[in-house]
Amino acid sequence: MSGPFDPGLAAAQEALVLAMTSGGPLPDGFDAAAVGAAARGILLKRAGEAARAWPALAASYGPAWREAFTGWAAARPTRGSFRDGWDFARAHRGDLGAGAARELALAEVRWSYDGEAPPRPRALAVRRTPGGVAVLVRGYVRVFGRAANR
C-alpha cells in the first residue's frame, strides 16, 4: 500500500542522490559528514568498476588510480563503468601509457561512441595503436605492427 506522492520528499531524495553521485549541493537536513562518506564510497566503487572494465588504463596509473579517477568523476554522474572508463581515458589521452592507449584504441575500433549516446558496435574501422594499427572487419579485430603481440 503506498501513500500519496510527496513532491517535497521526491525533490529531497533527488537532491541527495545528486549530492552523493555527482557533486550536487547538500540538501537541507542531511549530515554533511555522512553524505560525504557515502559519496566517497560510491566514487571508490565506480573507480573499481572502471578498473575492471579498463584494466590497462587503471594499471597505467598504479596506486594513483583511485585518486585520479575519483577526482575526475566527483562532479560527473556515472554512465556505467565502460563509459566512465572511456570518458576518463579520452579526457587523459595525452597522459596514457602504451597499454592504456592500446586499450582505448581497441575500444574505439570496436565501438562508435560520441561521449553522449551509448556506444554502438562498428562494422569496419581502423585506429592507430602504439607501434601499430588495429583493423576491425565484420566483428574481428586484427592488430598489425611491432607492438601487435604485446
Residue 11 has what pLDDT? 84
Residue 37 has what pLDDT? 92
Answering whether pTM is above 0.75, one says yes
Band of residue 1 on the pLDDT scale cut at 50, 70, 90? very low
Phi-psi region of 100 (alpha: psi -120 to 50; beta: other; left: phi over 0): alpha
Average pLDDT, integer, range 92-108: 95
Residue 55 DSSP class: H
Cβ neighbors of 116 (< 8 A, separation 6 or more) are none
Cell of 10: 521526491
Asked whether residue 149 carries a pLDDT value surpassing 80, the answer given is: no
Residue-wise pLDDT tens digits, 36-53: 899 899 999 999 999 999
Order of all β-strands in the sheet with 124-129? 124-129, 132-137, 140-145
Asked whether residue 25 carries a pLDDT value surpassing 90, the answer given is: no
